[in-house]
Structure 1
Amino acid sequence: MEEKVSMFKRKYLVWFMLLVLVIPVILTACGGTDLEQAVNEAAQQVEEAATEAAPQIEEAATEVSEAVEEVATAVSEEPAAEEPAEEAMPEPDYDTSIYGNIDEINLEGVKVVFWHQHSRQREEELLKIVEEFNATNPYGIIVEARNEGGYGDIYNKMIAGLSSGEVPGLVVAYQNQAAAYQVANGLVSLEPYINHPKYGLTEEERADFFQAFIDADRLPQFGGEAFGFPPNRSMEVLYYNADWLAELREAGAISFDGPPQTPDQFAEAVCAAAENPFSKNPDPSFSLGYEVRTDASNVAALTFARGADVYDYENNQFTYNNPATAEALFMMYELLNNGCAGLIAERFGDQTDFGNGKVLFTMGSSSGLPFYKSAVDEGEAGGFNWSVAAIPHTTEDPVMDIYGASVSIPRTDPATQLAAWLFLKYYTSPEIQARWARASNYFPVRRSVAEGLDDYFAENPAYEEAFKLLPYAKSEPPVAGYDNVRDAAEAAFNRILSGEDVNGDGAFDMADVEMILAELDAQANEILAEAAP
C-alpha cells in the first residue's frame, strides 16, 4: 500500500510541473498587445498538455482510489481497541450467609457483650483494656464485659442461650466447651477473620504466637478449624523446694543436682525426702516427697512427659490405655504404697504443706505461682528458696501440658462477629498482652511480649523459669464431651492409687492398671460418641 501511494506522488509531481511550464506562457502573453490571441494560444497549449497527460492523471487517480480503498479496508478489518474491563472482585472463600461480605460490613456503633469469669485484679485490668478499646478503635465498636460467674455457670448459660437465641458476642470457653457449643452450630470458625487481608493477622503476627496455643483451639471434630482464640495460657509444672533438694544432695541422699529431669530421678528424690525431713520443717514427723495430684490434667501431663498422648487425633479416639500412661500412674501407686508420697488431704492442701516445708514436690498450674509465693512467705518453715521445673520426662526435650480457656465468638450477625474479632485482635496485641500477663499472672500468647517483661521476670523468677518452657507446649484433647471424660480419668487414677485388684488374683500390678485404663478408654469413647456432632 505504501508503494502505491509513492507512485501516485511521482505522477502528481509530473502534472504539477506541466502546470508550471504553462503558467509563464500565460503571464508572458498578458504583457502583449493581442491579449485574445495570447489567451487562445495558451489555452491551446494547456489543452494539448492536458490531452497528453490525461492517461497518466487517470492512472494516478485510479491508483489513489485503490490505495484509499485498501487503507479503508485495512482499518475496518483491524480489531477495535477494547475498553479496559473493571477488575472483578474475587468471590469470598467463606460462607457469606454466616459472615456476610466482610469487606463491606459497617461496624459503626456495633455493641459486643463479653461473658467472662475474671474477678478482682484480673477483672479490673480487663475492664481497663475494654475501656481503652472502646475509646480508641476507629469503628465506634463498644464492648461490654460482664462477669457471668465461673466456667460452669457460663457453660450452663451458653447451653440455655443456644436454645433461646440469647447469646453474647464473645464468651470465655475451654476448647471442649467450644466443641460442645459447635455441636449445636453455636459458634463461628475464626479462620475467615484470621486470614482476612484487612482485618486478619499478617504472617509476621502469626509467627509471633506460640503455635501450640493456636493449635489448641483447632477442633478435630470440626475439620481442625479454630473456634476460639487464646488470650492467655497456664501450664502444668513441678514445684520444688530448692533448699531441701540441696540438703539431700549434700547428704548423698540423691545422685543429681537441681530439680529432677527424669521420672527415675523424681522417684529417687521423693523417697529420699520422706526419710530426710527438711531442716526448716517444724514437724519432722510429717515429711513427704510428693502429694499426688489426681486431676485429669496431671494424667495428661504425666503421659505427655513420657512421649505419648491420651488421644488419637487421626482416629478421634481416647487412648488412655497405653504403656506411658500405665507406667506413670503405676509409679505413683508405688510411691504412695511405699510411704514416700501421700494424698492431698483438702483443696490446696499440697500447696499449704509445701509452704510449711513438709512436702518436697507438688504438681499444679503455673497460675498458682502467686499463691505458692504467699504459702512459702507466710508458712511455718519461715521461707526458703523454691522454683518450678518441667514435669520429669523420658523424652529428649520436655513436653509440657498447656491449658487455659480461650475466647469464642458465638454465631449472631456478621457485624457483631467481626467487631468481636477486632476486640480479640486488640486483646492479644503485644502491648496489651504484657499488661494482661502482669495483672493475671497467666502466660502471654506471643513470644515478643517477653521483651517487655524483664522487670517482671526479675521480680518473679519462678514465672520466668516457667515461661522458658512454653516452646515445649502440648494441649489436651479439644473435643466435645471432655468435661465428662476428665471426671472418668480422675476416677480411674484414684482406683489405681487405691490398688484395686481388678482381675482378682490377690495382687495389684500392671495388669490391673491396664484393665482399669481399658475400662476408661471404653467409657471415654462412649462419652465422645454421644457428644460428637
Structure 2
Amino acid sequence: MRIITILSFLLICFTGHAIAESYENVNPTGAEATVWYRVSRDNQIAFMDMLTKEFNNNNPFGIKINAVSAGHYGQIFTKFVNLIGTEELPDMVVGYQNQLALFNMPGAESLINMDDLVKSKKWAMHPETMADIPSSFLAQDISSDFGNARLGFPPRRSMEILYANMDWLKELGYNEIPKNPKDFRAAACKASKQAFSGSKDPSAKSIGWEIGTDASRLGSVILAFGGETLDKSKGAYVFDNPEALAASKLISEMSEEGCLRSATEKYGEQTDFGNGVALFTTSSSSGLPYYGKAVSKGANFNWSIYSVPHTTPQPRGNLYGPSFGITKKSDKRKQVAVWLWLREFLKPVNQAQFVRLTNYVPVRMSTMNLLDDYRKKNPQFDIIRELMKTAGSETPPSASYEEVRGLMKDALAEILNGADHVKVMQDLNEEANRLHQEALDQLKE
C-alpha cells in the first residue's frame, strides 16, 4: 500500500524526537528563510512576490524571506519527502492536513508544533486577531495522532456548497432551497420528472442532483448528517456509525430512484447545471465565478447556494484547504521569521486581494468588510460568510487520510452504481481503520 511505502521511506531518511520548543528568547534579526506555497497563475504569483517584497523591506528585524511557488500539492509533497534529512528543506511548507501528518511521522518528524508560536507570549497574534478566525478553521490542524499538536495554520479555505437553480425550484413549487434531506430529496426527484422550462438542452435527461465522484462529495453528506470521517476523541474512522450510514442511504436511494447521478466528465455537473439540466449540484465554493459563467453562457437563470441539506440544528458545511507547516531546524530564527511572514499574509488587506485572485474563502472574517467589490460581482459569497460559522471538516490531520480519500471516492462510485450501501460503508470503515492503525503503530515504534 502507498502509505506503507511512504512511511518506510521516511524511516530510512531521518530520525528525531518531537519536543516542545520555546521561542521567547529567540531574536530573528537577520534571518533568511524559504517558504513553499501553492498558486500557479501569473497574477497570483505576482501578488505573492509583492507581499514578500514588502515584508522583506518593512519588517523591523531585517528578515529576508524567499517565497516560492513550488508546484501542485503532489509535487510539493514529493519534493519535501525527498529532502527530509537535509538542510535544503524549506522553512515553511504548504500541504493538506494529512500530508503535514506524513511529514511528521517517525523517521521524518520534520515539523514543529506550531502552538509553540501561536500561543507564544512574545510572537502570538493579538487575541482579537485570533478571535477573527473561526474556531472550526483553527481546529483542523490539531492532530490527535500527535498528542493534539498543531501541525499547521490555515492561510485560506474552501467550502463544499450546494448550487441550486432558483427558477426551476419555483416551477417545482419551492420558494427557497430545501434545508433538510427529506425536502431536498423530494425536490430533486420532482425535477428528475419535470424538466426546467428554460433548459438549454431539452433533449438531455433532467436530473435533480448531479455530483462528481470525489471523496469530498461523500464527506460533505456525512458531515451534514452530523457525522465525521475520523472521530478524534476515539482516534478511529467512523464510516459505519448511524450518521454515516444515513448519509450513504440517502445517496443510495436517490440514485436508485433516478434522482441523483454522477457526472460523466470532468466538470460535467457544472456544465449541466449551467444548461438547466441539473437542479442541484455540489462543488467547491472556489468555483463560484465558474458556475456564474456557466449559467450566463447557458440557460441564464437565477441561482443561489446553501450548505448540503442537513439534519443538524445548524448548517454544517464541509471546510477544506491546505495549511502552512513550519520545518524543524536548529536555527529557530528561521521558524520565527516564517511565522511573521505568515502573519503578514493573514492581514485582512492581503487576504482580500488573495480572495479576488483565487476565489478562496479568507480565514479572517473581517476580510469580508474589504470585499465589497468582489461580493457585488459574487453575491453568493455572503451566504458562505454565514455558513462558515458552523462548518466542520472532512479532512483529519492524520497520515492515513492520504489513502482513505481514495477509498471514499471508490465507495461513492460503488454506491452510485447500485452496491449495497451498508456493506460498502462497513468495508470502507474496516479498511480505513486498518490503514489508520498501521500509521498509529508507526508512531509507537
User: TM-score, length-normalised on structure 2?
Assistant: 0.90
Q: Is the 8 A contact 2:168 2:196 kept in 1?
A: yes
Q: Is the 8 A contact 1:437 1:443 kept in 2?
A: yes
Give, in whole Å, the separation in 2 of the partners of 1:308 and 1:282.
38
Partner of 2:239: 320
Matched, 1:113 2:34: yes
Give, in whole Å, the separation in 2 of the partners of 1:487 and 1:266.
27
1:128 deviates by 1.9
Give, in whole Å, the separation in 1 of the partners of 2:22 and 2:243.
48
1:101 deviates by 4.9
Q: Residues 335 and 424 from structure 1, CA distance in 2 versus in 1: closer, same or farther, beyond 3 angstroms?
A: same
Partner of 2:252: 333
Q: Is the 8 A contact 2:159 2:320 kept in 1?
A: yes
Q: Is the 8 A contact 2:99 2:399 kept in 1?
A: yes
1:122 deviates by 2.6
Matched, 1:470 2:394: no
Read off the aligned partner of 2:321 and give its amino acid letter.
Answer: G
Q: Is the 8 A contact 1:273 1:288 kept in 2?
A: yes
Match of 2:362, SS state, is coil
Q: Is the 8 A contact 1:299 1:325 kept in 2?
A: no
User: TM-score, length-normalised on structure 1?
Assistant: 0.75
Give, in whole Å, the separation in 2 of the partners of 1:179 and 1:377.
42
1:99 deviates by 4.7
- 1:87-102 superposed matches below 5 A: 99=21, 101-102=23-24
Match of 1:275, SS state, is coil
Match of 1:411, SS state, is coil
Higher alpha-carbon deviation: 263-272 or 194-203: 194-203
Higher alpha-carbon deviation: 279-288 or 475-484: 279-288
Residues 259-302 of structure 1: CA deviation (Å, up to 9, x unaligned): 11011111111111111111221322321111133322222211
- 1:167-316 superposed matches below 5 A: 167-183=89-105, 184-249=108-173, 256-286=174-204, 287-316=206-235
Match of 2:304, SS state, is strand
Larger Rg, first or second structure (1 or 2): 1
Partner of 2:426: 518
Residues 9-39 of structure 1: CA deviation (Å, up to 9, x unaligned): xxxxxxxxxxxxxxxxxxxxxxxxxxxxxxx
Q: Is the 8 A contact 1:289 1:359 kept in 2?
A: yes
Give, in whole Å, the separation in 2 of the partners of 1:225 and 1:194.
11
1:434 deviates by 2.0
Read off the aligned partner of 2:404 and give its amino acid letter.
Answer: V
Q: Gapped runs of 5+ residues in structure 1?
A: 1-94, 250-255, 501-511
Partner of 1:83: none
Give, in whole Å, the separation in 2 of the partners of 1:291 and 1:96.
45
Matched, 1:359 2:266: no
Give, in whole Å, the separation in 2 of the partners of 1:374 and 1:283.
17
1:102 deviates by 3.8
Residues 228-258 of structure 1: CA deviation (Å, up to 9, x unaligned): 1111111010011111111211xxxxxx421
Give, in whole Å, the separation in 2 of the partners of 1:449 and 1:423.
18
Match of 2:25, SS state, is helix
Match of 2:337 among 416, 419, 422: 419
Match of 1:468, SS state, is helix
Matched, 1:435 2:435: no
Match of 1:475, SS state, is coil
Q: Residues 487 and 135 from structure 1, CA distance in 2 versus in 1: closer, same or farther, beyond 3 angstroms?
A: same
Match of 2:327 among 370, 389, 410: 410
Give, in whole Å, the separation in 1 of the partners of 2:123 and 2:130.
13
Partner of 1:450: 368
- 1:383-398 superposed matches below 5 A: 383-398=300-315
Match of 2:66, SS state, is strand
Partner of 1:44: none
Read off the aligned partner of 2:370 and give its amino acid letter.
Answer: G
Read off the aligned partner of 1:214 and give its amino acid letter.
Answer: L
Give % identity.
37
Give, in whole Å, the separation in 2 of the partners of 1:434 and 1:148.
23
Read off the aligned partner of 1:521 and give its amino acid letter.
Answer: N
Q: Is the 8 A contact 1:351 1:362 kept in 2?
A: yes
Q: Is the 8 A contact 2:24 2:121 kept in 1?
A: no
Q: Is the 8 A contact 2:223 2:316 kept in 1?
A: yes
Give, in whole Å, the separation in 1 of the partners of 2:202 and 2:192.
10
1:198 deviates by 2.5
Q: Is the 8 A contact 2:34 2:91 kept in 1?
A: yes
Q: Is the 8 A contact 2:23 2:120 kept in 1?
A: no
Give, in whole Å, the separation in 1 of the partners of 2:159 and 2:39.
18
Q: Residues 472 and 101 from structure 1, CA distance in 2 versus in 1: closer, same or farther, beyond 3 angstroms?
A: closer
Give, in whole Å, the separation in 1 of the partners of 2:47 and 2:365.
21
1:427 deviates by 0.9
1:389 deviates by 0.6
Partner of 1:400: 317
Read off the aligned partner of 2:372 and give its amino acid letter.
Answer: D
Match of 1:148 among 62, 70, 73: 70
1:114 deviates by 1.5
Q: Residues 471 and 96 from structure 1, CA distance in 2 versus in 1: closer, same or farther, beyond 3 angstroms?
A: closer
Larger proportion of helix = 1
1:166 deviates by 2.4
Give, in whole Å, the separation in 2 of the partners of 1:330 and 1:106.
55
Answer 1 or 2: higher relative contact order, Cα 8 Å, separation at least 6. Answer: 2
Q: Residues 101 and 399 from structure 1, CA distance in 2 versus in 1: closer, same or farther, beyond 3 angstroms?
A: closer
Partner of 1:129: 51
Give, in whole Å, the separation in 2 of the partners of 1:283 and 1:220.
49
Give, in whole Å, the separation in 1 of the partners of 2:211 and 2:376.
31
1:170 deviates by 1.3
- 1:478-497 superposed matches below 5 A: 478-497=397-416
Q: Gapped runs of 5+ residues in structure 2?
A: 1-16
Give, in whole Å, the separation in 2 of the partners of 1:369 and 1:122.
18
Q: Residues 107 and 290 from structure 1, CA distance in 2 versus in 1: closer, same or farther, beyond 3 angstroms?
A: same
- The count of residues paired between Structure 1 and Structure 2 equals 419
Q: Is the 8 A contact 2:37 2:93 kept in 1?
A: yes
- 1:16-165 superposed matches below 5 A: 99=21, 101-108=23-30, 110-120=31-41, 121-165=43-87
1:96 deviates by 12
Matched, 1:529 2:437: yes
Q: Is the 8 A contact 1:228 1:409 kept in 2?
A: yes
